[in-house]
């Protein structure tokens, strides 16, 4: 906790300093192996009355370079608009911008919310890049291997998972009989499990679409980011989630030529004993 508080203090000091010196600060979250890396600006709205900009899925140094170039163009008077193509910024490709919905701000823009007086009362654009065939992520023939490198933040606020809506997930009939889902596990191989109790019975198991389980309990969107091998659990619907400790989870602040600050997604963590039910249920459906 002390390390986080010190990191948080230093990060906020850097944000203020960078905006004073460079007209914006770049906040970064590295990829954790499941969710893509992203970088976003803080300060464009204050300095130029231009929406902040966020980019997902490219190498962090490339995203930083792009954002610095966008800042320079904005300083010259450029004003980027949503659903309009631009060239000359990403070599060999056009880019577009989407207007980020407010519902997505808390998931990705924590330090920006802090800087703007602990509110999300500012606009944000998402810079979108195409695949190598110049197809956009919303087009059917976009490279399927890159589909989840860019969550489209102008839509899908009812379904925040970086997965196909029809992905098969494991649960039990009790969830559909009215019992609250309190345990969620994201398997190391990518499978998801949603359960009403820690030790459910194999004979109660049920295979459903991910979209179906999210419609049943939309609060499950709160843990869309759960990494491979992690378990989330809570006491009741609406309660705060706890995340099982992950040995590889410790990340510090990242700095470099662009003076990034690591964006945190802090959750209460606690180690729990893994149930062998997770593997038993999977084998039942194989």
Q: Side-chain half-sphere of 229: how many Cα atoms within 13 Å?
A: 9
Q: How far apart are CA 43 and CA 217, in angstroms?
A: 36
Task: Give pLDDT tens digits for 180-229.
Answer: 999 999 999 999 999 999 889 999 999 999 999 999 999 999 999 999 99
pLDDT for 248 equals 45
Q: How far apart are CA 258 and CA 190, in angstroms?
A: 33
Mean pLDDT along residues 60-84: 97
Only one residue has tokens 């995203």, namely 63
Q: How far apart are CA 105 and CA 120, in angstroms?
A: 7
Q: How far apart are CA 109 and CA 100, in angstroms?
A: 11
pLDDT for 3 equals 74
pLDDT value at 282 more than 90: no
- Token pair of 38, please? 């992203």
Three-point CA angle 122, 100, 77, nearest 5°: 60
pLDDT for 281 equals 53
What residue ranges do the domains of the chain occupy? 2-149, 168-248+267-285
Mean pLDDT along residues 147-154: 96
pLDDT value at 85 more than 80: yes
CA distances from 19 to 13, 70, 106, 218 (A): 10, 15, 21, 37
247 — pLDDT class (breaks 50, 70, 90): low
Given a contact cutoff of 8 angstroms between Cβ atoms, the answer to whether 60 and 260 are in contact is yes
pLDDT for 273 equals 36
pLDDT value at 72 more than 70: yes
pLDDT for 262 equals 57
Given a contact cutoff of 8 angstroms between Cβ atoms, the answer to whether 285 and 207 are in contact is yes
Which residues does residue 246 pair with via DSSP β-bridges, in sequence order? none
pLDDT for 267 equals 46
Distance in Å from the first CA to the final CA of the chain: 42
pLDDT for 158 equals 96
pLDDT for 141 equals 95
Mean pLDDT along residues 146-164: 96
Q: Output 270 or 178, whichever has higher pLDDT.
A: 178
Mean pLDDT along residues 175-179: 96
Q: How far apart are CA 54 and CA 161, in angstroms?
A: 18
Handedness of CA 256, 261, 262, 263 (dihedral sign): negative
Q: How far apart are CA 192 and CA 184, in angstroms?
A: 7
If DSSP codes are grouped into helix, strand and coil, which group holds residue 97?
Answer: strand
pLDDT for 6 equals 83
Q: Which runs of consecutive H residues, i.e. helices, occur in the chain?
A: 2-22, 44-48, 60-75, 105-108, 110-115, 173-176, 210-216, 277-285
Q: How far apart are CA 120 and CA 257, in angstroms?
A: 28
If DSSP codes are grouped into helix, strand and coil, which group holds residue 262?
Answer: strand
Instruction: Share the mean pLDDT of the chain.
Output: 88
Which residues does residue 269 pair with via DSSP β-bridges, in sequence order? 243
CA distances from 77 to 73, 74, 95 (A): 7, 5, 18
């Amino acid at each position: 906790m002390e390390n986080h508080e010190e990191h948080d203090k230093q990060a906020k000091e850097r944000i203020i300093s960078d905006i004073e010196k460079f007209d914006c600060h770049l906040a970064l979250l590295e990829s954790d192996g499941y969710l893509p890396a992203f970088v976003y600006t803080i300060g464009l709205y204050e300095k130029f009355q231009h929406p902040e900009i966020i980019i997902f899925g490219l190498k962090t140094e490339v995203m930083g370079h792009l954002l610095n170039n966008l800042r320079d163009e904005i300083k010259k008077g450029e004003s980027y608009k949503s659903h309009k193509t631009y060239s000359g910024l990403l070599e060999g490709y056009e880019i577009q911008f989407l207007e980020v919905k407010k519902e997505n701000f808390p998931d990705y823009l924590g330090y920006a919310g802090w800087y703007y007086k602990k509110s999300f009362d500012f606009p944000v654009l998402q810079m979108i890049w195409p695949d190598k065939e110049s197809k956009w992520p919303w087009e059917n023939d976009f490279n399927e291997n890159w589909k989840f490198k860019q969550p489209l933040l102008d839509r899908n606020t009812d379904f925040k998972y970086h997965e196909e809506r029809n992905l098969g997930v494991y649960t039990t009939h009790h969830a559909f009989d009215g019992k609250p889902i309190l345990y969620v596990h994201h398997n190391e191989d990518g499978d998801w499990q949603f359960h009403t109790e820690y030790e459910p019975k194999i004979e109660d198991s049920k295979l459903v679409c991910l979209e179906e389980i999210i419609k049943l309990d939309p609060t499950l969107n709160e843990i869309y980011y759960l990494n491979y091998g992690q378990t989330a659990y809570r006491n009741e619907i609406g309660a705060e989630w706890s995340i099982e400790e992950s040995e590889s989870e410790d990340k510090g602040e990242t700095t470099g030529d662009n003076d990034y600050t690591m964006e945190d997604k802090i959750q209460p963590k606690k180690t729990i004993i893994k149930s062998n039910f997770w593997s038993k249920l999977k084998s039942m459906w194989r």
